[in-house]
Amino acid sequence: MRVTNALVTRSLSRRLLENQRLLSEAQERVATGKRVQKLSDDPTAGSAIMQAGGSLRGIAQYTRNVEHLATRLDAEDSALGQLTDLMTRARELGVATVGGNVDAAGRRAAGAELRQLLGQVVNVANTKLGDDYLFGGIGNDGRAPFTLPTLQADGTTTFVVLDPPADPADAPTPRVPTGERQYEIAAGQTMSGPHAGGKVFLDSGMLDALNRLAFAMETDQTADMGSAMRDLDVAFSDVQALVGEIGARQNQSDIVRAGLAALRDTFTAQKSALSEVEMEQAITEMVQRQTAYQAAMLASSKVMGLSLAEYLR
């Protein structure tokens, strides 16, 4: 087979372009620090990198959910702490007034303080976290969940804002905050957020007991004070049980956060091992590719020069 100058030239050109491509890829690896630039560079590693990236995005979302949950749990823990202090003071007033030698004026003064404590309890019940009511439950419409309770003529207590009925003949409907928000912490796994206001302030009987005790002292109805005090003690115990529940949820959220952080570190390391290059090795390879490219250019120039000289002769 006769080897012509044209064949030699085409062969040299292909080799020169190949060396140029290899040098360009080596330079890109050094510039980006990435071994796999596109899936075709290493299909197996590229697929694993994509899976690790997807896992990291999911972990980031779950972490945001848990952080939001932890913020709300911390807020409820603080609110329940305030309630504990307020109810402790109310019980102290009740014990001193009901069981002590206190005259009517002293009972009225205690009733006035209890009324102030009740106002502070309602303020806690309407705690806002950003634009949201902490104890608003699910589907809160942006209105404060609670108003100051008042004792009705029939002996019942109104605690919440009432929605007017469509038919004036019907009784108004209380908007009781219910439902605990759920936060996704992993695929198919959720955690409960803060308790709804209905459970904290209504189911415990706290507002009713405080209101009746204040009313009994304000009106000097000593017969009703003992009953209100017993209900207040029950409400206090219920709130302490909720404090324990929130503490358990806080502990669980801390465990989940630690687990997500560990998973994030694992997938980050996996992705890095698959995609990133050893810089020293990458630089050495780039220098080798550059030397090979320069050698190919020099060889090509010499062959091209000889071919041109033969043509001119």
Asked if the structure places residue 226 within a domain, the reply is yes
Last residue of a domain, one of 203, 219, 253: 253
Model pTM above 0.85: no
**Within this chain, do residues 135 and 234 fall inside the same structural domain, yes or no?**
yes
Please report the pLDDT score of residue 23 as a whole number: 63
Please report the pLDDT score of residue 175 as a whole number: 59
**Within this chain, do residues 15 and 61 fall inside the same structural domain, yes or no?**
no
What is the 3-state secondary structure of the chain? CCCCHHHHHHHHHHHHHHHHHHHHHHHHHHHHCECCCCHHHCHHHHHHHHHHHHHHHHHHHHHHHHHHHHHHHHHHHHHHHHHHHHHHHHHHHHHHHHCCCCCHHHHHHHHHHHHHHHHHHHHHHCCEECCEECCCCCCCCCCCCEEEEEECCCCCEEEECEECCCCCCCCCEECCCCCCCEEEEECCEEEECCCCHHHHHHHCCHHHHHHHHHHHHHCCCHHHHHHHHHHHHHHHHHHHHHHHHHHHHHHHHHHHHHHHHHHHHHHHHHHHHHHECCHHHHHHHHHHHHHHHHHHHHHHHHHHHHHHHHHHC
Please report the pLDDT score of residue 11 as a whole number: 67
Asked if the structure places residue 170 within a domain, the reply is no
Asked if the structure places residue 151 within a domain, the reply is no
Q: What is the mean pLDDT of each run of 10 residues along the chain (313 residues)?
A: 58 68 66 66 77 91 96 96 96 87 89 93 91 84 73 49 47 63 92 92 89 89 89 96 96 96 90 69 69 70 54 41
Asked if the structure places residue 204 within a domain, the reply is yes
Tally the domains of the chain.
2
Please report the pLDDT score of residue 136 as a whole number: 86
